[in-house]
Amino acid sequence: MVQHIHGTDDPWEPSLLCRFTVEAAMLDMVKRLQKQGLGNEEIAVSLADAAEDYVIRLANALCKEGEPVERPSIEH
């Protein structure tokens, strides 16, 4: 499940250390959930839903603080 991230000059792209730290924690969590009897598909969908909710909460919090949340345009 290792995804190789190459620099895109995207100011919103997390550092490699952050990315791999989060991935390691996620894989540990997935193993624990599997041991509790949850299936891979159920875990994957629930994890995706939770991640989406977290991003929405973060965006809403930034809007409330008055910070800009517009994603910078990146020319390809």
Q: What is the pLDDT of residues 53-66, one digit of tens each?
A: 999 998 888 887 76
Q: Which spans in the chain are helix H? A: 16-35, 40-64
CB-based burial, 44-65: b 16+ in 10 Å, e otherwise: eeeeeeeeeeeeeeeeeeeeee
Q: What is the pLDDT of residues 12-71, one digit of tens each?
A: 678 899 999 999 999 999 999 999 999 999 999 999 999 999 999 988 888 877 655 565
How many whole angstroms from its chain centre is CA 66? Answer: 23
